[in-house]
Structure 1
Amino acid sequence: MNGLEAIVSGIIDSSVKKATGVPGYPITDLMEALGDNNIRHEWSINEKVALEMALGSSVCGKRCAVITKHVGMNILSDPLVTSAIHTIGAGVVIFAGDDPGIEKSQNEQDSRFYGSIAEVPVFDPGTTENAYLCVKEAFILSEKVRTPVIIRLTDRLLKSNGNFVRKNEPYQSKKIDKNIWHLTMLGKHQRFHAESYPQMCKYAETSKLNTYKENKKKSDIGIISSGFPSSLVDSIISDDISHLSLTVVNPLPIDLIDRFIKEHSRVLIIEETEPVIEKQFSKRVFGKLTGHMRYGIAEVEDIQRAIENINNDAVKRDIVSQTIEKRGPRPMCEDCPYMPLYFAIKELDVPVAGDLGCSIMTSSPPLSLIDAAFSLGSSISTACGFNRKGIAIIGDFGLAHSGIPALINAVHNEHEVVVVILQNEVAAMTGGQKVPDLTGLLSYYIKDTVTVNPDEKNIRKILNEKLEKNGVSVILAPAKCPRY
């Protein structure tokens, strides 16, 4: 079975009846697979809402899974950070899909960092078997330390094949202990560090999910790894190299790692995407910071090169920025109904803020339409910062996700902006999930709201008229995505 099936099996065998989340690479298929197994699953408007719903289930004694890609961790971080000292009831596990190599994302962030930010446990499984066991243990640990637990996933892990033995133990519902409200906010944090965090550290040091393969020739070389690269290390290392494979990466098993480092004179850290482990042991180990490993995705040849250079204290590594020309273009769909609208906007001499929906593909040549696109739902706020009235292009999913507060702010603070909403009724970038219809809300709140077909012959004239008016103007552009 593959890693995705292992995760699904682990969720089912943990008596989880509900899952929330937001679609995106590489975790969209995970949510769909849960639906196929009769688990109530719901694509939420955004990740903050998804986690808050899961926390509500936890309060009432029902375990819940939250499924998000790595950038979604930024959106749910507010309730996540508070939930650790607030405490929860039933287990909540966040499945964070990371994208090393940026295959289909706007950045390459590492979800493991959120463990230290929120002070919650993080698992980074490397094999299919480990993935299943992680899910099982994560829900139990979540209830024991009374915080959510993060499991980091990558596309290669989800597609990797392996074996695992399923276990379906009975689960007794656990509700939140309301005695927490006898403590102040400071008192909650003090209790957390007196009780919960020490239990996390003890678990990390003793967990059998962390494995140590000692070399048979008593060599001085050792490798510490986490996540999918652990399986790559196992596939290539010889008998004269020891390997400590970490699955529990927050809190780190400091004593375990210290002992490993002391037993070897040269220790290499293999991890992706950032040097999360390496930074905590810098000057005692080698890895990305010393040039032995590259940032981002880890490949077999990278590990082999690092081993070859293990006797060098530093390795000179030239970083060549990838270009669209070298990677290959990812153009707009030829039959996209919004192409006439994009060309009309292109002809205007105004700044244009884009979003992280399909319109992001208009940023590169030949269109080169967008000046900036920072995150999903960001275009309206970005355009409000322009030095003159410009255009914000946003999809209806991006608007529902996090664009509405920006629109309210624009009206409230009397900004100058033309908001063009691509109203195709689906989240086309992530698989065609349905999007709420906000037409009535927009028309009621913003008086200057018009609906225009994107192939309207005088669309440029309409855009110019809106640019010349004062205040916030909204253009709804309904169309059907041919793919969905």
Structure 2
Amino acid sequence: MNQTGSEIGISEITGLEALYFALIDSKVELVTGVAGFPVTAVMNYFEKNLASDIPTLWMTNEKVALEAALGASVSGKRSLVLTKHVGMNVLSDPLVTAVTHTIGAGVVIVAGDDPGVRASQNEQDSRWYGEVAEVAVFDPSNPDATYSSLIRAFELSESTKTPVIVRITDRLEKTIGTVTRSDDIKTGTEAKATFDRSIWKLTMRGKHQHFHINVQPLLVDEAENSPLTRSVKASKTSKIGIISSGYPSLLVDELLSEKQLEVSHLSLNVVCPLPLRKLRDFISDHEKVLVVEESEAFIESHISICGNVLGKMTGHLPYGRIEKEQIALAIENFDKDKVTEYTFIETIKGRGSRSLCEDCLFLPVYRMLHDLNILIAGDMGCSIRSAPAPLEAVDVGFALGAAISTAIGFDKKSVAVIGDFGLSHSGIVGLINAVETGRDVLVMVLDNRTAAMTGGQSTPDLTGAVKALCDDVTVFEFNDPELAGDRIKELEGLVRDKLSINGVSVIYVRADCVLYK
């Protein structure tokens, strides 16, 4: 980390607070984000504590969030993007292009992963986007590393003219530790970093060549020589070592200290590009090496060819979330090439149902959809919780905003159930395509003007835009529980009528969210 001046020790702060102080000390001028676990808590904290002259903008779509940050970058303003891991899929389009296009001031994407799938539709690993986009990825393990990673990420972003990813998790946000904060941090150059238009002298192929010849070596050097990487070598007689990254590194540290184990530990902070030379040297010094990481076998898959590497792929550790006792069990089984401990597959019956709120005003609507006996396309959000028993209302749910596009592909006119947030996120694009291509689909917008699954953020009213796109739009008020019986019969009749005609039909079903009323 480039520092001058004195350093200030801050005792006992969380990883979330470390992000905040790094944001302040990096002189960030724009924060954009899309709500979702676990980054909603980060954005809420920023909103509450940041000065009014630093905009914190909730966006409806991650692609837009990154594009706004890139706009700030080319005008010389450092910007930060907050997204959960599935949002990385949405913003990947401008991310991949920005790398060879080049940027101006630093752009850092804080990607919140959800090991254990506490509140997500999948358990993907954001570290892979480092390889897809060919950008640096920091995977800090504690609050001090989190602070230092974000500070360094902005510096690296400006020196390489590329966005940088910092990966966090819910447990990292909540972890408490001492942070060393500098009171005088260099912000790259004397003047603000801005976009250099001379890149347009190159062809698109030339931009890619420029990246690999001039920029990628800088990223490799960062990975191999990062001061944020920690290596603790056990006694010379130690035959085993552990390679880790992210929050699990903290668990390894605690376990080795508690058990007084003679095990070497290499804790990576920059995981993309992987420091292959450093990894090869560590592996060659040990008979067996265990890789401890969340959620996928990202590091392990790159080094498993060495033959003496254990981890998720060998069954020593489970995929997804890692606990300390699982690391201990893996160490106990170092002498085995394969372990079959983790064969349990979680079911809703075993875990317990996570259904809709008991007094949700839309419950009768979902029961009515179940009784239609046709394919129902759902959406990420509240409607996805109606898929399992006992409601069994929607049949499929692939992505946020995907319900309308999915229903376009059904073999006959059916129902796409989408929330107002899903519609504004990306569902409106599906509606445009449905109208333009003359498909048969009934869109039911369950409108409570709230992003209920991500913290109750307000959502834009797109009724006017929908009416401009589609001739057949009905607004149905469903806000009085005492009239629910009569109103649901009326709504069912309306739904059956719309299903019997060709073309695109839209029914707005409006009711308050009981959780955020």
**1:107 matches 2:122:** yes
TM-superposition CA deviations, 1:428-477 (whole Å, max 9, x none)? 11111111111111112111100112342411101100000111100011
Give the aligned partner of residue 409 of structure 2: 385
Which of 60, 68, 73 lines up with 2:83 in the alignment?
A: 68
TM-superposition CA deviations, 1:345-368 (whole Å, max 9, x none)? 222121101001111111111111
Percent identity, aligned pairs only?
A: 50
Give the aligned partner of residue 265 of structure 1: 287
Partner Cα distance (2:413, 2:404) in 1: 11
Give the aligned partner of residue 74 of structure 2: 59
Which of 261, 274, 279 lines up with 1:252 in the alignment?
A: 274
**1:6 matches 2:18:** yes
**1:169 matches 2:185:** yes
Q: Secondary structure of the equivalent of 2:122?
A: coil
8 A contact 1:217–1:239 mirrored in 2: no
Q: Secondary structure of the equivalent of 1:150?
A: strand
Q: Which runs of 4+ in 1 moved over 4 A?
A: none
Kindly state the Cα deviation for residue 283 of structure 1 after the two structures are TM-superposed: 3.3
TM-score of the superposed pair, with normalisation by structure 2: 0.92
Which of 27, 34, 51 lines up with 1:15 in the alignment?
A: 27
**1:120 matches 2:152:** no
TM-score of the superposed pair, with normalisation by structure 1: 0.98
- Give the RMSD, CA atoms, in angstroms: 1.1
Listed as ranges, the matches of 1:234-313 within 5 Å are 234-237=253-256, 238-284=260-306, 285-313=309-337
Listed as ranges, the matches of 1:387-406 within 5 Å are 387-406=411-430
8 A contact 1:217–1:240 mirrored in 2: no
8 A contact 1:99–1:155 mirrored in 2: yes
Q: Which moved more, 1:47-56 or 1:356-365?
A: 356-365
Q: Which moved more, 1:220-229 or 1:317-326?
A: 317-326
**1:466 matches 2:498:** yes
Partner Cα distance (1:265, 1:244) in 2: 15
**1:413 matches 2:437:** yes
Partner Cα distance (1:452, 1:433) in 2: 23
8 A contact 2:317–2:342 mirrored in 1: no
Which of 122, 144, 156 lines up with 1:141 in the alignment?
A: 156
Which of 229, 247, 266 lines up with 1:228 in the alignment?
A: 247
Amino acid at match of 2:301: K
8 A contact 2:107–2:164 mirrored in 1: yes
Partner Cα distance (1:247, 1:348) in 2: 52
8 A contact 2:251–2:324 mirrored in 1: yes
Give the aligned partner of residue 205 of structure 1: 224
Kindly state the Cα deviation for residue 427 of structure 1 after the two structures are TM-superposed: 0.6
Partner Cα distance (2:461, 2:356) in 1: 24
8 A contact 1:125–1:153 mirrored in 2: yes
Q: Secondary structure of the equivalent of 1:77?
A: helix
Partner Cα distance (1:68, 1:120) in 2: 16
Partner Cα distance (1:170, 1:295) in 2: 40
Partner Cα distance (1:70, 1:170) in 2: 30
Give the aligned partner of residue 156 of structure 1: 171
Kindly state the Cα deviation for residue 35 of structure 1 after the two structures are TM-superposed: 1.5
Listed as ranges, the matches of 1:347-362 within 5 Å are 347-362=371-386
8 A contact 1:216–1:239 mirrored in 2: no
**Residues 365 and 239 of structure 1: CA distance in aligned 2, closer, same or farther (over 3 Å):** closer
Give the aligned partner of residue 451 of structure 2: 427
Kindly state the Cα deviation for residue 170 of structure 1 after the two structures are TM-superposed: 4.8
8 A contact 1:85–1:192 mirrored in 2: yes
Amino acid at match of 2:45: A
Which of 377, 395, 400 lines up with 1:371 in the alignment?
A: 395
Q: Which runs of 5+ in 2 are unaligned?
A: 1-12, 479-483
Kindly state the Cα deviation for residue 419 of structure 1 after the two structures are TM-superposed: 0.3
TM-superposition CA deviations, 1:3-35 (whole Å, max 9, x none)? 000011111110002100100000101111112
**1:85 matches 2:100:** yes
TM-superposition CA deviations, 1:270-314 (whole Å, max 9, x none)? 111001101111132111111111111111111011111111122
Partner Cα distance (1:96, 1:300) in 2: 24
Which of 63, 72, 87 lines up with 1:48 in the alignment?
A: 63
**Residues 350 and 299 of structure 1: CA distance in aligned 2, closer, same or farther (over 3 Å):** same
Number of residue pairs matched by the alignment: 484
Amino acid at match of 2:496: N
Amino acid at match of 1:347: D
Partner Cα distance (1:340, 1:274) in 2: 39
Partner Cα distance (1:233, 1:280) in 2: 21
TM-superposition CA deviations, 1:211-250 (whole Å, max 9, x none)? 1001035301100000000000011123410000001000
Partner Cα distance (2:278, 2:469) in 1: 59
Give the aligned partner of residue 342 of structure 1: 366
